[in-house]
Structures are given as structure tokens and as C-alpha cells.
Structure 1
Amino acid sequence: MFTDSVELTVSSGKGGQGCVAFRREKFVLNGGPNGGDGGKGGDIWFRCDNNTHTLSHFQKRMHIKAEGGVPGEGSRMTGKAGVKKVIIVPPGTQIIDIETGEILFDMVKDGQEVKFLQGGKGGLGNTHFKSPTNQRPTYSQPGEKGETRAIKLDLKLIADIGLVGFPNVGKSTLISTVSNATPEIANYEFTTLTPKLGQVNIGDFESFVMADIPGIIGGAHEGKGLGIQFLRHIERTKTLLYMVDLASYRDLKEQIEVLKDEIKSFSEKLAESKYAIALTRVDIVPPDEINELVNGFLELLGLEASKTNEFNFDSEMPFFVQDSADETLGYDRTLPYLVAPISSATYKNIEALKYSLFNLVQTDRI
């Protein structure tokens, strides 16, 4: 079960009680106080781990506590410190204070560790309170209480490419074709109910991560459909792949305009991301209609079909790729980096799409 938001109460450990004890040995005269200190309470830590990708192992409103310190003992023996409690979260988890709404930590890197709550100090034993006027102290300190905070964990997946499209446009089919993701695929809308991540391998040593979210419909930013609930999972992506269905009953212009408007309504920053457009399901469209549809769509965007073919797109179909001759100037973010017809079912232009998207991702890594 995929869970991307939970509320927790976390508490660090209480310090151990100081000990009241006196030295009592047969051949030792005037034995004085020798009570040891209590052990320190356990701290609360957060650790980011790539091996987990959901918050489902947390129960809502659960209370996570660190171990308390052990009381001190005689012979000035300090009690054992409480073991720290390490809370494992997936990359992309934000730790938010429920009362203030402040983002306390943003866990984004595998192996990242942060101390969240300090354990309480152990109490002092009675040996610390002896003096010339008080040679027999019969009291010690209690351990300090630990800290308690109410927090919310919000997961925002981290990916290089975020897929955006209407329901049943072929997002799940694409990510299952190009990556190691295995989403449910069926011929009805809203098959995808939870976000999916997939690693797309480019050769033996390079790769990028693709994120698939449930389909977006008009009004998603107002809560319609499932889109608004999961749009935050592509909020961290720097590149979007808009998927427009050539075989849909929806007009091509309507699809791209609604999708871009919904993204902009959700996040102005996300709307300014670099983007590409994949025209899906060319295997369903009659061959003699494909060129007319693609050229009409390019004309709608004010573009012309590319004459160069550095990524080996099918030369029988029109496509557009921005000229990358002068990469120092970067790509024009107001225009799509590429517009290409594809078919995940027949693998049409899929390999060329992979390499072109990787080329776009690389511009952010340089």
C-alpha cells in the first residue's frame, strides 16, 4: 500500500534517575556517598534510505519513543544511556511541524541523517551533593524529561522526468516499456491510483528516473479526479513529459492546454520547467492520418518539423527537436524540447525518445 502523508508524535528518551547510595565496606572507615548518575535518554534521528519508497510502515497518529536512560547505581556507576531511535524515511520526505507548518528537514539524499530531538540528561547521583556541611546527602536528581513533538511526514518523490497526461493516455505503458517499473495497465481510465518510479537505463553506466502519476483532468487543481492528490510527486522534477493521445476523443489542442493550465494552477515554478511532448498511440491511428495530425499539432505550437535526426526518430513521421548546436545558451523553455509521435505497444520511436530525454536531463546535471 502506497502512503505519502502521515502524522506522528515522536518523543526522545527520559534521562535516568541519579542513585542514592553510600560506601559500606568492612575495613573502610567513614564511607561516604557514592551514588552514580543516571544514563542519558535516547535521541530521535531521521535517516534517508533508498531502499524504502513509501510511508506505509507508519500508522497514522502513532507515537514513536526513544529508549530512556537507565538509573545510576552504587559505586559511582553511571546508568546505561538509552539507545537512539532512528526513523527510516524514503528520499523526498519532508518533516513538518504540525503546529506551525514549518518544514523542519527535507530528506533528499540517500544516507542523510539528522538529529531531531535530544534525549533528556541523566540525573546526578548523591555523590555530587556531598560537602563539609552535608556529608550524608540522601537525595539525587531525577532524570530530565525528553522532548515531544507532533510532526507530519510528507513524501514528494524525486525523479528526473515527470509524466503528465489525461487518464488512459499511455503513461503506465510507457514507463513499463522503458524502465524497471511494473504498474498496472488496463484499458480504462484511472488505472494508475498511486505514483510509480522507474529507472530508465541508457547503456551500461547511465540512467535517469521517471515518475508516473495518476491521470490529470480539467479542474484537477481544485480537487477533481486524482491528479491534485499526487501532483506534488512531480513538483521536484525539472523536466516534464506531456503525453498527448493522438487517438483520444479529446482534441489535441484541448489536451495540451488543459494539462499546462492545471500544472500552472498547481505550481508556477513547475509550469516553468523544461518540457517535452510525446504524441502517443500512433499504432491506433491510420497511417495516412498520422502526418496530418502531427503537422497540425506542430503548426498549432508555432513549430516546424525538424530536418535533423540526431536521435534516430522514424523519418517517415514528422517530429520536432530543438537545435542543440549551441548548448551554452540552453534550450528555450517556452517551447517544448521535442515533439514526437510514439507507440509504447509497438516500440515506435521509444528508443529515440529515451536518448533525447536523457540528453535533456543531462543539461541539469552539468
Structure 2
Amino acid sequence: MKFVDEAYIDISAGDGGAGCVSFRHEKYKEFGGPNGGDGGRGGHVFAVADVNLNTLVDYRFARRYDAKRGEHGMGSDMFGAAGDDITLKMPVGTIITDAETGEVLFELLTPGEVITIAKGGDGGFGNLRFKSAINRAPRQKTPGWPGEKRSLKLELKVLADVGLFGLPNAGKSTLITAVSNARPRIADYPFTTLHPNLGVVRVGPEQSFVVADLPGLIEGASEGAGLGHLFLRHLQRTRLLLHVVDAAPFDDSIDPVAQAKGIIAELKKYDEGLFKKPRWLVLNKLDMVPVEEREALVKDFVKRLKYKGPVFEISALNREGCEPLIKAVYKHIRAEHDAEQVHVEVDPRFMP
């Protein structure tokens, strides 16, 4: 299935049905009084967060969604039926924005969460509503209220705890395959990954986290070069970024330190908040470096990069160094999660 993380749709809730003007007409009851019922409510438009979806591709081809209008009121005190609601299934992590104003209206962050994105109009009043002691034969009625109509932009930001980024062919897909249940396409040429891949990393019983592998970044990505800039938004909800670097490029003329600096600069150009997220350095493909040379290579790399955070030396191909990495990642994510827990203070008056 094609990965689509942006779409535009037009939605329209149902209009309310009109009220009815009617009077009782029965034998021997010449003045039976008003009995016109109200119109029915128009159908609502709901959105639900569906864990089984990971793309907005359905909304790329079908862009118009209209709920049914309510039925009109009728005589004999009969109210009109409400219009049928419609429910739009969207991936968890979808942001719903007003396409005209750019205002963020809703975010679907919890699996199964249901929100009302357009309310149906209320039904109009029939003449039964206007009966009073001084108005015994009312002929007033009101039309139904219109339903809400909106033009929306849907934007998907995947919900992952950890995001992998780096140059094409740095070994990100191999790494996510080695540590998680994801099985992305892997090949020996750049830009093998064309869309984000999510994987669940199992650290232990009831201990896991979600990692996202994005298409490789290149210099100029913030201005639109390559593919990675199209998916950088998916890193914005992560708690931790892992900068995967090919520490042993085949071409001796390539300086991996200069490349790493360039990618970090692109991250900063794209989003200052993304640049300030916790970011760890993962030096990959160290199986290509002789054991006696690894320590010196890593020290030189870190010194020239002027990097002061955690450094992990791995070989994703044979899983060397992956176990300490995932344990450290889980510990960091768990600590951040615990720190975010809100402790509600209970008013002593309501204590048992």
C-alpha cells in the first residue's frame, strides 16, 4: 500500500429537517389543535483513530464526505428521524487542520479515540412548539439549522518513541531490522527506504518501545533535496533521536564527520525544536574496521564532531553492540515517561 502522510478533504454535516405545520383532523374534533412535529437532527461527521491504519491514502482519492440531512417533521406529533452519521477512520497520529486558516483543530493520539469534526444542524420546530394559551392555532414553524461544513488538511505524524536519521546507506534499515520486528527493504544502494518504517523493540517482558526508520537525509534536505525532508515531521513526536553514521565508508575521499555535521545542520534548519531533542550518536558498520583501530577511530570522530553526548559503537549487520544500545534507549524513554506523569493533588475536603 502506498504511504501517504498528507491529504485534503471537504466534509459536510447534515442539515436539520424543517418543522411541520399541521392540525388534528378527526371526526367530531373540529378544533383538534396543532400537531406538527420537529425536524430531525442532521448527521454528524466523526473521526476515529484506527490502529490498523498507517497511511492517509484513502483520502487521497475520495475527498468529499457528506452526512445525511435530518427528515422533516410530520403531522400527528411525528418528529423527523435524525440523519445518519458518518465515521472516518484515520491513523493514530493524524493532525486535523482547517485548510483555510491553518488552525489545528484536533489531534488523534489515542487508539480508538473518537472526535466530532463536524456537527449536524438541529431540526426546526413544528407548530406544536408554538402552542400557548393565547395562540391556540399557531402556524409558525422554523427551518432546520445548517450542518457544519469544513475544508480540512490531514497530516500524519507517526507515533514513535525513537527516530533513526542519517545519510542514505548509513545502515538505518539494517539496524531497525536487527532490533525490532520491522522488515524494511534493504539493499546496497542509497535511498532504498522510500517511506517511514515502524518497528516494536522488545527489551523484556512488558518492556518495549517503538522506533521509526526514515528515508535518508542529504545536505540541502531542508530546501527540498532528496526524500528525507518529506518525512522529517515524523521525528517531531519522538522522545529520542539516533543519528546513525557509516563510520567506515568504502570511498576514502568521503569524510563521515563532515557529512554528519551537514545532516545536523539540516535538522536545525528544518526545525529548531527538533534540533534540540535528545540526540545520540550511533557509529555503525564498525565490523568493517579492524578491532585494534576502532578505539582511535571513534575518539577521532567524536573529537572532530565536537560531540558530547552518548556514543554507541555497533554493527547492525551482526548485531554487535545493539543490545547495550536498546537497553540504554529504553531506560531513557522510561525515565522521560515517568517524569511526564502528572500527579493530581486531591482537595483534602474530598478525602475519604
Whether TM exceeds 0.5 here: the answer is yes
Q: Is the counterpart of residue 361 in structure 1 residue 333 in structure 2?
A: yes
Contact 1:7 1:61 in 2 (8 A): no
Is the 1:263–1:271 contact (alpha carbons within 8 Å) kept by the matching residues of 2?
A: yes
Once the 2 structures are TM-superposed, how far is the Cα of residue 61 of structure 1 from its aligned partner?
Answer: 6.8
The answer to which of 154-163 and 131-140 deviates more is: 131-140
> How far 1:260 moved relative to its partner?
0.9
Superposition pairs of residues 335-350 of structure 1, within 5 angstroms: 335-336=308-309, 338-350=310-322
After TM superposition, give the deviation of residue 124 of structure 1 in Å: 1.5
Cα distance change on mapping 1:133 and 1:364 into 2, 3 Å: closer
- The reply to whether residue 352 of structure 1 matches residue 324 of structure 2 is yes
1:124 pairs with 2:96: no
Give the fraction of aligned pairs with identical amino acids, expressed as a percent.
43
Q: Show CA shifts across 1:209-243 (max 9, x none).
A: 11111000011001000111111110121211000
Q: Which amino acid aligns with 2:48?
A: R
1:257 paired with 2:261, answer yes
1:247 aligns with 2:248: yes
Match of 2:176 in 1: 175
Aligned to 2:343: none
Between 1:86-95 and 1:217-226, the stretch displaced more is 86-95
Per the TM alignment, residue 301 of structure 1 is displaced from its structure 2 partner at its CA by 4.5
CA contact (8 A) 1:179 1:200 kept: yes
TM-score (norm 1): 0.85
2:285 matched residue in structure 1? 281
Task: Specify the SS of the correspondent of 1:59.
Answer: helix
Corresponding residue for residue 160 of structure 1: 161
CA distance in 2, matches of 1:43, 1:18: 19
User: Per-residue displacement from partner, 1:114-158 (whole Å, max 9, x unpaired)?
Assistant: 322221111122323456786555563322221111110111112
Question: Mean alpha-carbon deviation: is it higher for 52-61 or for 237-246?
Answer: 52-61
Q: How does 1:137-286 map to 2 (within 5 A)?
A: 137=138, 140-248=141-249, 249=251, 250-286=254-290
Instruction: Tell me, yes or no, if structure 1 residue 298 matches structure 2 residue 298.
Output: no
Q: CA deviation digits over 1:303-359, x for unaligned, max 9?
A: xxxxxxxxxxxxxxxxxxxxxxxxxxxxxxx732x2122112211111111111112
Q: Secondary structure at the match of 1:152?
A: strand
1:40-59 CA-to-partner distances (Å, cap 9, x unmatched) read 11222222232322111213
RMSD of aligned C-alpha atoms? 2.1
Aligned residue in 2 for 1:67: 68
Is the CA contact (8 Å cut-off) linking 1:7 and 1:60 kept in structure 2? no
Distance 2:27 2:305 in 1: 98
Gap runs ≥5 in structure 2? 339-352
The one-letter code of the counterpart of 1:48 is A
CA distance in 1, matches of 2:61, 2:272: 31
Aligned-partner residue type, residue 273 of structure 2: K
* Structure 1 residue matching 2:58: 3-state secondary structure: coil
The answer to whether the Cα contact below 8 Å between 1:6 and 1:60 also exists between their aligned partners in 2 is no
1:50-89 matches, within 5 Å, as 50-59=51-60, 62-89=63-90
Q: What is the rounded CA distance, in whole Å, between the counterparts of 1:91 and 1:335 in structure 2?
A: 35
Q: Secondary structure at the match of 2:154?
A: strand
Q: How far apart, CA to CA, are the structure 1 residues paired with 2:335 and 2:276?
A: 15
Output the amino acid matched with 1:363: A
- Structure 1 window deviating more from structure 2 (117-126 vs 130-139): it is 130-139
> Aligned residue for 1:111?
112
Secondary structure, counterpart of 1:283 in structure 2? helix
Letter matched to residue 21 of structure 1:
S
TM-score, L = length of structure 2: 0.88
Number of residue-to-residue matches in the alignment: 334
The answer to which of 278-287 and 347-356 deviates more is: 278-287
- 2: CA distance, partners of 1:177 / 1:25: 81
CA offsets 1:149-180 (integer angstroms, 9 cap, x no match): 11101111121111011001111111122112
Rounded Cα–Cα distance in structure 2 between residues aligned with 1:59 and 1:195: 18
- 1:200 positional shift: 0.8
Secondary structure at the residue paired with 1:109?
A: coil
Q: Which 10-residue stretch deviates more, 77-86 or 274-283?
A: 77-86
Shift in Å, 1:13: 0.8
1:100 Cα shift? 1.1
Amino acid across the alignment from 1:90: P
